Amino acid sequence: MLFWRASLLAPACPTWQVQGLGKCRGLQSLKGFAVDKTEMAKIERYMRQTFANHAIRVVGRPKKDDSAEVYIGEEFIGVLFVDDEDGDRSFNFTMAILDTDLED
Residues 39, 89: Cα–Cα separation, whole Å:
11
Q: Domain limits of the chain?
A: 2-102
pLDDT per residue as tens, the chain (104 positions): 343 444 443 344 443 333 444 444 433 333 346 788 898 999 999 999 999 999 999 999 888 878 899 999 999 999 999 888 777 888 899 999 989 989 87
Are the C-beta atoms of 7 and 103 separated by less than 8 Å? no
- What separation in angstroms does the CA of 7 have from each of 2, 54, 64, 75, 99? 17, 20, 21, 25, 29
